Amino acid sequence: MTQAAQTLAEIDQARSVHPYTNLSAHRDEGPFVITRGEGIYVWDDQGNQLIEGMAGLWCTSLGFNEPRLVDAATRQMKELPYSHLFAHRATEPAVVLADMLVDLAPDPISRAFFVNSGSEAVDSAIKMVWYYNNAHGRPAKKKIIARKRAYHGVTIAAGSLTGLPYVQDGFDLPAIPVLHTEAPHYYREGHNDETEIAFADRLVASLEAMIEQEGADTIAAFIAEPVMGAGGVLLPPETYFEKVQALLRKHDILFIADEVICGFARTGEMFGCQTYGIAPDIMTCAKQLSSAYLPIGAVLISEQVYEGLVAGSDKLGVFGTGNTYGGHPVSAAVAIETLKIYAERDITSHVKSLEPTVRHGLDRLAQHPLVGQARGVGLIGAAELVADKQSREQYPVGDKIAAKVAAHARKHNLILRPVPGDGIAFCPPLVINDDELNLMFDRLIAALDDVHQEIT
Protein backbone atom coordinates (compact mmCIF):
# COMPACT_ATOMS: atom_id res chain seq x y z
CA MET A 1 0.00 0.00 0.00
CA THR A 2 1.30 3.47 -0.85
CA GLN A 3 2.34 6.07 1.67
CA ALA A 4 -0.59 8.23 0.55
CA ALA A 5 -2.97 5.53 1.78
CA GLN A 6 -1.17 4.99 5.09
CA THR A 7 0.58 7.10 7.67
CA LEU A 8 4.32 6.78 8.17
CA ALA A 9 3.64 5.08 11.49
CA GLU A 10 1.41 2.48 9.87
CA ILE A 11 3.96 1.74 7.15
CA ASP A 12 6.67 1.45 9.77
CA GLN A 13 4.64 -1.01 11.83
CA ALA A 14 3.94 -3.09 8.72
CA ARG A 15 7.41 -3.05 7.12
CA SER A 16 10.24 -2.18 9.51
CA VAL A 17 12.28 -4.16 12.04
CA HIS A 18 13.63 -1.85 14.76
CA PRO A 19 16.88 -2.36 16.66
CA TYR A 20 16.86 -2.35 20.48
CA THR A 21 13.06 -2.53 20.48
CA ASN A 22 10.45 -4.84 21.97
CA LEU A 23 9.12 -5.95 18.62
CA SER A 24 5.84 -7.23 20.00
CA ALA A 25 5.14 -3.94 21.78
CA HIS A 26 6.08 -2.01 18.65
CA ARG A 27 3.24 -3.61 16.72
CA ASP A 28 0.84 -2.06 19.23
CA GLU A 29 2.56 1.22 20.08
CA GLY A 30 4.12 2.21 16.77
CA PRO A 31 7.12 4.48 16.19
CA PHE A 32 8.22 7.84 17.57
CA VAL A 33 8.82 9.67 14.31
CA ILE A 34 11.40 12.48 14.14
CA THR A 35 10.96 14.81 11.18
CA ARG A 36 13.62 17.51 11.44
CA GLY A 37 16.29 19.03 13.67
CA GLU A 38 17.96 22.35 14.43
CA GLY A 39 20.70 22.98 16.96
CA ILE A 40 20.05 20.83 20.03
CA TYR A 41 16.37 20.38 19.12
CA VAL A 42 14.41 17.87 17.06
CA TRP A 43 10.75 17.90 16.03
CA ASP A 44 8.41 14.91 15.96
CA ASP A 45 5.61 14.28 13.49
CA GLN A 46 3.14 15.89 15.89
CA GLY A 47 5.01 19.19 15.73
CA ASN A 48 6.57 18.94 19.20
CA GLN A 49 9.99 20.54 19.66
CA LEU A 50 12.20 18.40 21.94
CA ILE A 51 15.67 18.81 23.39
CA GLU A 52 17.69 15.89 22.04
CA GLY A 53 19.36 15.14 25.38
CA MET A 54 21.19 12.11 24.00
CA ALA A 55 22.61 13.79 20.87
CA GLY A 56 20.85 11.02 18.95
CA LEU A 57 22.87 8.05 20.17
CA TRP A 58 25.70 9.88 21.98
CA CYS A 59 26.85 11.19 18.62
CA THR A 60 25.38 14.35 17.04
CA SER A 61 27.98 16.66 18.58
CA LEU A 62 27.47 19.71 16.35
CA GLY A 63 23.70 19.66 16.48
CA PHE A 64 21.23 18.92 13.74
CA ASN A 65 21.76 21.62 11.11
CA GLU A 66 25.47 22.40 10.74
CA PRO A 67 25.67 23.81 7.17
CA ARG A 68 29.41 23.31 6.82
CA LEU A 69 28.98 19.54 7.06
CA VAL A 70 26.23 19.57 4.47
CA ASP A 71 28.45 21.65 2.17
CA ALA A 72 31.44 19.35 2.71
CA ALA A 73 29.36 16.31 1.74
CA THR A 74 27.94 18.09 -1.30
CA ARG A 75 31.37 19.22 -2.58
CA GLN A 76 32.85 15.75 -2.19
CA MET A 77 29.82 14.06 -3.72
CA LYS A 78 30.30 16.18 -6.83
CA GLU A 79 34.06 15.62 -7.03
CA LEU A 80 34.41 11.93 -6.15
CA PRO A 81 31.36 10.17 -4.70
CA TYR A 82 33.12 6.87 -4.14
CA SER A 83 36.45 5.10 -4.20
CA HIS A 84 37.89 2.39 -1.97
CA LEU A 85 41.17 1.85 -0.12
CA PHE A 86 41.88 -1.77 -1.11
CA ALA A 87 45.13 -2.85 -2.81
CA HIS A 88 47.11 0.41 -2.40
CA ARG A 89 44.25 2.69 -3.51
CA ALA A 90 43.89 6.01 -1.69
CA THR A 91 41.81 9.19 -1.82
CA GLU A 92 42.66 12.67 -0.63
CA PRO A 93 39.93 12.76 2.06
CA ALA A 94 41.02 9.43 3.57
CA VAL A 95 44.70 10.40 3.59
CA VAL A 96 44.04 13.83 5.12
CA LEU A 97 41.69 12.39 7.73
CA ALA A 98 44.19 9.72 8.79
CA ASP A 99 46.83 12.41 9.25
CA MET A 100 44.50 14.61 11.29
CA LEU A 101 43.40 11.76 13.54
CA VAL A 102 46.93 10.62 14.30
CA ASP A 103 47.90 14.21 15.15
CA LEU A 104 44.96 14.48 17.57
CA ALA A 105 45.35 11.07 19.20
CA PRO A 106 47.44 10.42 22.32
CA ASP A 107 50.80 8.69 22.12
CA PRO A 108 51.71 6.09 20.96
CA ILE A 109 49.04 6.12 18.20
CA SER A 110 50.57 6.45 14.73
CA ARG A 111 48.22 4.89 12.12
CA ALA A 112 44.53 4.90 11.13
CA PHE A 113 42.36 2.18 9.58
CA PHE A 114 38.85 3.15 8.47
CA VAL A 115 35.53 1.39 8.98
CA ASN A 116 31.86 2.41 9.06
CA SER A 117 30.78 2.17 12.69
CA GLY A 118 31.87 1.65 16.26
CA SER A 119 30.95 -2.04 16.22
CA GLU A 120 33.03 -2.56 13.07
CA ALA A 121 35.91 -0.68 14.66
CA VAL A 122 35.86 -3.00 17.69
CA ASP A 123 35.60 -6.12 15.51
CA SER A 124 38.51 -4.90 13.39
CA ALA A 125 40.57 -4.13 16.50
CA ILE A 126 40.09 -7.70 17.74
CA LYS A 127 41.07 -9.10 14.34
CA MET A 128 44.20 -6.93 14.41
CA VAL A 129 45.12 -8.16 17.88
CA TRP A 130 44.80 -11.78 16.79
CA TYR A 131 46.70 -11.14 13.55
CA TYR A 132 49.44 -9.34 15.51
CA ASN A 133 49.92 -12.24 17.90
CA ASN A 134 49.89 -14.81 15.09
CA ALA A 135 52.57 -12.78 13.31
CA HIS A 136 54.69 -12.96 16.48
CA GLY A 137 54.27 -16.71 16.81
CA ARG A 138 51.83 -16.59 19.74
CA PRO A 139 48.75 -18.43 18.44
CA ALA A 140 47.45 -19.14 21.95
CA LYS A 141 47.38 -15.46 22.94
CA LYS A 142 43.80 -14.78 21.87
CA LYS A 143 41.52 -14.11 24.87
CA ILE A 144 40.14 -10.62 25.36
CA ILE A 145 39.30 -9.20 28.78
CA ALA A 146 36.35 -6.83 28.83
CA ARG A 147 34.29 -5.58 31.77
CA LYS A 148 30.84 -6.31 33.10
CA ARG A 149 28.37 -3.60 31.98
CA ALA A 150 30.72 -2.58 29.14
CA TYR A 151 29.23 -1.67 25.78
CA HIS A 152 31.41 -2.33 22.75
CA GLY A 153 28.82 -2.89 20.04
CA VAL A 154 26.62 -5.68 18.72
CA THR A 155 28.46 -7.47 15.90
CA ILE A 156 29.71 -10.98 16.65
CA ALA A 157 33.02 -10.01 18.28
CA ALA A 158 31.90 -6.66 19.67
CA GLY A 159 28.70 -8.18 21.04
CA SER A 160 30.77 -10.89 22.72
CA LEU A 161 32.80 -8.21 24.49
CA THR A 162 29.76 -6.22 25.58
CA GLY A 163 28.97 -7.04 29.19
CA LEU A 164 25.21 -6.45 29.07
CA PRO A 165 22.84 -9.43 28.92
CA TYR A 166 20.34 -7.86 26.51
CA VAL A 167 23.03 -7.71 23.80
CA GLN A 168 23.90 -11.39 24.16
CA ASP A 169 20.69 -13.15 25.16
CA GLY A 170 19.21 -15.14 22.29
CA PHE A 171 22.19 -14.53 19.99
CA ASP A 172 24.51 -17.34 21.21
CA LEU A 173 27.04 -14.79 22.45
CA PRO A 174 29.80 -14.65 23.45
CA ALA A 175 31.18 -16.35 20.36
CA ILE A 176 34.86 -15.50 20.87
CA PRO A 177 37.19 -16.20 23.83
CA VAL A 178 36.30 -13.36 26.20
CA LEU A 179 36.54 -12.84 29.96
CA HIS A 180 34.60 -10.22 31.92
CA THR A 181 36.12 -8.56 34.95
CA GLU A 182 34.34 -6.26 37.41
CA ALA A 183 32.84 -2.95 36.38
CA PRO A 184 34.40 0.09 38.11
CA HIS A 185 31.10 1.19 39.68
CA TYR A 186 32.22 2.73 42.95
CA TYR A 187 28.75 3.89 44.05
CA ARG A 188 27.24 0.43 43.64
CA GLU A 189 30.19 -1.93 44.22
CA GLY A 190 32.44 -0.05 46.65
CA HIS A 191 32.53 -1.45 50.20
CA ASN A 192 31.57 0.58 53.24
CA ASP A 193 34.39 2.96 54.20
CA GLU A 194 36.37 1.92 51.09
CA THR A 195 38.03 4.85 49.33
CA GLU A 196 38.07 5.15 45.55
CA ILE A 197 41.78 4.33 45.58
CA ALA A 198 41.21 1.22 47.69
CA PHE A 199 38.34 0.22 45.38
CA ALA A 200 40.64 0.62 42.38
CA ASP A 201 43.28 -1.51 44.12
CA ARG A 202 40.72 -4.25 44.70
CA LEU A 203 39.55 -4.21 41.08
CA VAL A 204 43.10 -4.38 39.75
CA ALA A 205 43.98 -7.21 42.15
CA SER A 206 40.96 -9.12 40.87
CA LEU A 207 42.02 -8.45 37.28
CA GLU A 208 45.53 -9.71 38.02
CA ALA A 209 44.13 -12.85 39.63
CA MET A 210 42.11 -13.48 36.46
CA ILE A 211 45.20 -13.02 34.29
CA GLU A 212 47.27 -15.36 36.43
CA GLN A 213 44.54 -17.99 36.53
CA GLU A 214 44.02 -17.94 32.75
CA GLY A 215 47.70 -17.50 31.94
CA ALA A 216 49.04 -14.25 30.50
CA ASP A 217 50.28 -16.17 27.46
CA THR A 218 46.61 -16.79 26.52
CA ILE A 219 45.40 -13.19 26.93
CA ALA A 220 45.80 -10.84 23.98
CA ALA A 221 44.16 -7.60 25.07
CA PHE A 222 42.10 -5.69 27.62
CA ILE A 223 39.38 -3.40 26.25
CA ALA A 224 37.77 -0.52 28.12
CA GLU A 225 35.75 2.63 27.56
CA PRO A 226 37.33 5.57 29.41
CA VAL A 227 33.79 6.31 30.64
CA MET A 228 31.36 3.39 30.38
CA GLY A 229 28.49 4.86 28.38
CA ALA A 230 25.54 2.56 27.71
CA GLY A 231 26.43 0.54 30.81
CA GLY A 232 25.34 3.44 33.00
CA VAL A 233 27.81 6.33 32.49
CA LEU A 234 30.30 4.87 34.96
CA LEU A 235 33.34 7.01 35.71
CA PRO A 236 36.60 5.27 36.63
CA PRO A 237 37.65 5.51 40.28
CA GLU A 238 40.79 7.46 41.12
CA THR A 239 44.06 5.71 40.07
CA TYR A 240 42.15 2.90 38.28
CA PHE A 241 43.52 3.29 34.76
CA GLU A 242 47.03 4.08 35.99
CA LYS A 243 47.13 0.75 37.81
CA VAL A 244 45.41 -1.22 35.04
CA GLN A 245 47.99 -0.01 32.50
CA ALA A 246 50.91 -0.99 34.72
CA LEU A 247 49.41 -4.46 35.13
CA LEU A 248 48.90 -4.90 31.38
CA ARG A 249 52.47 -3.84 30.62
CA LYS A 250 53.74 -6.33 33.20
CA HIS A 251 51.93 -9.17 31.42
CA ASP A 252 52.46 -8.01 27.79
CA ILE A 253 48.74 -7.47 27.17
CA LEU A 254 47.56 -4.81 24.72
CA PHE A 255 45.21 -2.03 25.83
CA ILE A 256 42.30 -1.24 23.50
CA ALA A 257 40.61 2.05 24.42
CA ASP A 258 37.05 2.16 23.10
CA GLU A 259 36.53 5.87 22.40
CA VAL A 260 33.36 5.45 20.35
CA ILE A 261 31.32 7.50 22.84
CA CYS A 262 34.06 9.41 24.69
CA GLY A 263 36.05 10.54 21.65
CA PHE A 264 36.05 14.10 20.27
CA ALA A 265 35.57 16.32 23.34
CA ARG A 266 32.73 14.49 25.07
CA THR A 267 34.71 14.28 28.34
CA GLY A 268 36.24 17.76 28.06
CA GLU A 269 39.42 16.62 26.30
CA MET A 270 39.65 15.52 22.69
CA PHE A 271 39.73 11.90 23.84
CA GLY A 272 38.72 10.18 27.04
CA CYS A 273 42.22 8.71 27.09
CA GLN A 274 43.56 12.23 27.65
CA THR A 275 41.05 12.85 30.44
CA TYR A 276 42.17 9.73 32.30
CA GLY A 277 45.85 9.40 31.39
CA ILE A 278 45.55 6.36 29.11
CA ALA A 279 48.27 5.56 26.54
CA PRO A 280 46.47 2.95 24.40
CA ASP A 281 47.97 0.48 21.95
CA ILE A 282 44.74 0.62 19.95
CA MET A 283 41.82 3.07 19.93
CA THR A 284 38.41 2.71 18.36
CA CYS A 285 36.37 5.75 17.39
CA ALA A 286 33.21 6.63 15.47
CA LYS A 287 30.03 8.62 16.36
CA GLN A 288 31.28 12.20 16.89
CA LEU A 289 34.02 11.72 14.28
CA SER A 290 31.52 13.05 11.73
CA SER A 291 29.03 14.48 14.23
CA ALA A 292 27.05 11.42 13.04
CA TYR A 293 26.16 13.17 9.78
CA LEU A 294 27.54 10.20 7.82
CA PRO A 295 28.68 6.74 8.95
CA ILE A 296 32.41 6.49 9.60
CA GLY A 297 34.68 4.95 12.21
CA ALA A 298 38.36 4.27 12.68
CA VAL A 299 40.78 1.96 14.42
CA LEU A 300 43.86 3.91 15.52
CA ILE A 301 46.95 1.85 16.30
CA SER A 302 50.49 2.25 17.61
CA GLU A 303 53.53 1.72 15.44
CA GLN A 304 54.31 -1.43 17.43
CA VAL A 305 50.96 -2.93 16.48
CA TYR A 306 51.34 -1.73 12.90
CA GLU A 307 54.71 -3.43 12.56
CA GLY A 308 53.09 -6.67 13.69
CA LEU A 309 50.49 -6.27 10.94
CA VAL A 310 53.27 -5.63 8.42
CA ALA A 311 55.08 -8.79 9.52
CA GLY A 312 51.89 -10.79 9.17
CA SER A 313 51.12 -9.46 5.71
CA ASP A 314 54.69 -10.21 4.60
CA LYS A 315 54.24 -13.79 5.73
CA LEU A 316 50.74 -14.27 4.31
CA GLY A 317 50.93 -12.01 1.26
CA VAL A 318 48.12 -9.64 2.26
CA PHE A 319 46.50 -7.99 5.28
CA GLY A 320 43.22 -9.63 4.36
CA THR A 321 40.54 -7.46 5.94
CA GLY A 322 38.69 -4.29 5.01
CA ASN A 323 35.31 -2.76 4.21
CA THR A 324 33.82 -1.66 0.89
CA TYR A 325 32.89 1.69 2.43
CA GLY A 326 35.82 2.01 4.85
CA GLY A 327 37.24 5.53 4.41
CA HIS A 328 34.39 6.46 2.04
CA PRO A 329 35.47 9.79 0.53
CA VAL A 330 32.22 11.61 1.33
CA SER A 331 32.15 10.38 4.92
CA ALA A 332 35.83 11.22 5.27
CA ALA A 333 35.27 14.73 3.88
CA VAL A 334 32.52 15.33 6.45
CA ALA A 335 34.77 13.99 9.22
CA ILE A 336 37.57 16.35 8.14
CA GLU A 337 35.20 19.31 8.28
CA THR A 338 33.96 18.16 11.67
CA LEU A 339 37.51 18.08 13.04
CA LYS A 340 38.16 21.53 11.56
CA ILE A 341 35.08 22.90 13.33
CA TYR A 342 36.19 21.35 16.62
CA ALA A 343 39.54 23.13 16.27
CA GLU A 344 38.21 26.50 15.06
CA ARG A 345 35.52 26.68 17.75
CA ASP A 346 37.83 25.21 20.42
CA ILE A 347 35.18 22.68 21.31
CA THR A 348 37.10 21.26 24.27
CA SER A 349 37.27 24.71 25.88
CA HIS A 350 33.55 25.17 25.25
CA VAL A 351 32.77 21.88 27.00
CA LYS A 352 35.00 22.86 29.93
CA SER A 353 33.28 26.26 30.16
CA LEU A 354 30.00 24.44 30.81
CA GLU A 355 31.37 22.47 33.78
CA PRO A 356 29.86 24.81 36.44
CA THR A 357 26.42 24.52 34.86
CA VAL A 358 26.71 20.74 34.58
CA ARG A 359 27.92 20.47 38.17
CA HIS A 360 25.00 22.62 39.35
CA GLY A 361 22.60 20.42 37.40
CA LEU A 362 24.11 17.26 38.88
CA ASP A 363 23.81 18.76 42.37
CA ARG A 364 20.13 19.50 41.73
CA LEU A 365 19.57 15.94 40.54
CA ALA A 366 21.35 14.49 43.58
CA GLN A 367 18.93 16.29 45.89
CA HIS A 368 15.88 14.68 44.29
CA PRO A 369 14.25 11.94 46.41
CA LEU A 370 14.47 9.41 43.56
CA VAL A 371 18.19 9.95 42.87
CA GLY A 372 20.87 8.02 44.74
CA GLN A 373 23.80 9.40 42.77
CA ALA A 374 24.23 11.96 39.98
CA ARG A 375 27.54 11.63 38.14
CA GLY A 376 29.19 12.95 35.03
CA VAL A 377 32.22 14.39 33.29
CA GLY A 378 32.29 16.88 30.44
CA LEU A 379 28.92 16.63 28.70
CA ILE A 380 27.98 13.08 29.61
CA GLY A 381 26.24 12.08 32.82
CA ALA A 382 23.58 10.02 34.54
CA ALA A 383 21.29 9.94 37.54
CA GLU A 384 21.02 6.57 39.30
CA LEU A 385 17.54 6.04 40.72
CA VAL A 386 16.96 4.35 44.08
CA ALA A 387 14.07 3.44 46.32
CA ASP A 388 16.06 4.44 49.42
CA LYS A 389 18.92 6.95 49.42
CA GLN A 390 20.48 5.68 52.64
CA SER A 391 20.59 1.95 51.81
CA ARG A 392 20.88 2.54 48.03
CA GLU A 393 18.19 -0.10 47.56
CA GLN A 394 16.91 -0.21 43.99
CA TYR A 395 13.36 -0.53 42.81
CA PRO A 396 12.30 -3.97 41.51
CA VAL A 397 13.48 -4.45 37.93
CA GLY A 398 9.90 -4.95 36.79
CA ASP A 399 8.96 -1.45 37.92
CA LYS A 400 11.10 0.01 35.09
CA ILE A 401 11.53 3.28 36.96
CA ALA A 402 14.18 4.70 34.61
CA ALA A 403 12.02 3.92 31.59
CA LYS A 404 9.13 5.72 33.28
CA VAL A 405 11.32 8.79 33.84
CA ALA A 406 12.37 8.75 30.17
CA ALA A 407 8.73 8.50 29.11
CA HIS A 408 7.73 11.43 31.33
CA ALA A 409 10.73 13.41 30.08
CA ARG A 410 9.38 13.11 26.56
CA LYS A 411 6.10 14.61 27.79
CA HIS A 412 8.24 17.55 28.93
CA ASN A 413 9.84 17.71 25.46
CA LEU A 414 13.15 16.12 26.45
CA ILE A 415 14.69 12.96 24.98
CA LEU A 416 16.78 10.92 27.43
CA ARG A 417 17.76 7.28 27.67
CA PRO A 418 17.37 4.73 30.47
CA VAL A 419 20.55 2.75 31.13
CA PRO A 420 21.23 -0.38 33.22
CA GLY A 421 21.00 -0.10 36.98
CA ASP A 422 17.97 2.18 36.83
CA GLY A 423 19.98 5.06 35.46
CA ILE A 424 18.80 7.89 33.28
CA ALA A 425 21.56 9.19 31.00
CA PHE A 426 22.13 12.52 29.29
CA CYS A 427 24.60 13.32 26.53
CA PRO A 428 23.49 16.48 24.69
CA PRO A 429 25.10 17.94 21.58
CA LEU A 430 28.39 19.65 22.39
CA VAL A 431 27.04 22.91 20.97
CA ILE A 432 24.58 23.28 23.85
CA ASN A 433 24.84 26.48 25.91
CA ASP A 434 24.30 27.27 29.59
CA ASP A 435 20.66 28.31 29.23
CA GLU A 436 19.84 25.18 27.24
CA LEU A 437 21.63 22.99 29.77
CA ASN A 438 19.62 24.51 32.60
CA LEU A 439 16.44 23.92 30.61
CA MET A 440 17.46 20.29 30.04
CA PHE A 441 17.94 19.77 33.80
CA ASP A 442 14.63 21.57 34.53
CA ARG A 443 12.78 19.17 32.27
CA LEU A 444 14.54 16.12 33.69
CA ILE A 445 13.66 17.17 37.24
CA ALA A 446 10.06 17.74 36.18
CA ALA A 447 10.00 14.16 34.84
CA LEU A 448 11.47 12.86 38.11
CA ASP A 449 8.78 14.78 40.01
CA ASP A 450 6.09 13.19 37.87
CA VAL A 451 7.35 9.66 38.53
CA HIS A 452 7.89 10.31 42.22
CA GLN A 453 4.30 11.53 42.54
CA GLU A 454 3.06 8.53 40.54
CA ILE A 455 4.73 5.90 42.74
CA THR A 456 4.26 7.45 46.19
Tell me the backbone φ, ψ of residue 85, rounded to 5 degrees: -115, 10
Q: In whole angstroms, what is the distance from residue 189 CA to residue 12 CA?
A: 42
Does the domain spanning 32-65+354-455 belong to CATH 3.30.300.170?
A: no
pTM exceeds 0.85: yes
Q: Work out the burial of residue 308: count CB atoms within 10 Å of its CB; fewer than 13 is exposed, 13-18 middle, 19 or more buried.
A: buried
Check if the beta carbon of residue 130 is closer than 8 Å to that of residue 143: no
Give the pLDDT means over successive 10-residue stretches in the chain (456 positions): 68 94 93 97 97 98 98 98 98 98 98 98 98 98 98 98 96 97 98 97 98 98 98 98 98 98 98 98 98 98 98 97 98 99 98 98 98 98 97 95 98 97 97 98 98 95
- β-bridge mates for residue 34, sequence order: 44
Query: What residues have CB less than 8 Å from 433, skipping those under 6 apart?
Result: 354
Q: Are 266 and 311 in contact (CB under 8 A)?
A: no
Q: Which CATH number fits domain 69-344: 3.40.640.10, 3.30.1700.10, 3.30.565.10, 3.40.50.2300?
A: 3.40.640.10
Report the pLDDT value the prediction gives residue 425, as an integer from 0 to 100. 98
pLDDT of residue 6: 79
Sheet of strand 41-44, all strands in order from the earlier edge strand to the far edge: 34-38, 41-44, 49-52, 414-415
**Rg over CA atoms, the chain:** 22
- Please name which of 430, 34, 421 lies closest in space to residue 229, comparing C-alpha atoms: 421
Whole-angstrom CA distances from 42 to 34, 36, 308, 363, 450 are 7, 6, 46, 27, 23
Q: How, if at all, do strands 34-38 and 41-44 pair?
A: antiparallel
**3-state secondary structure labels for all residues of 198-247:** HHHHHHHHHHHHHHHHHCHHHEEEEEECCCECCCCCECCCCCHHHHHHHH
Domain ranges of the chain: 32-65+354-455, 69-344
Whole-angstrom Cα distance, residue 144 to residue 139?
A: 14
* pLDDT recorded at residue 2: 46
- pLDDT attached to residue 5: 56
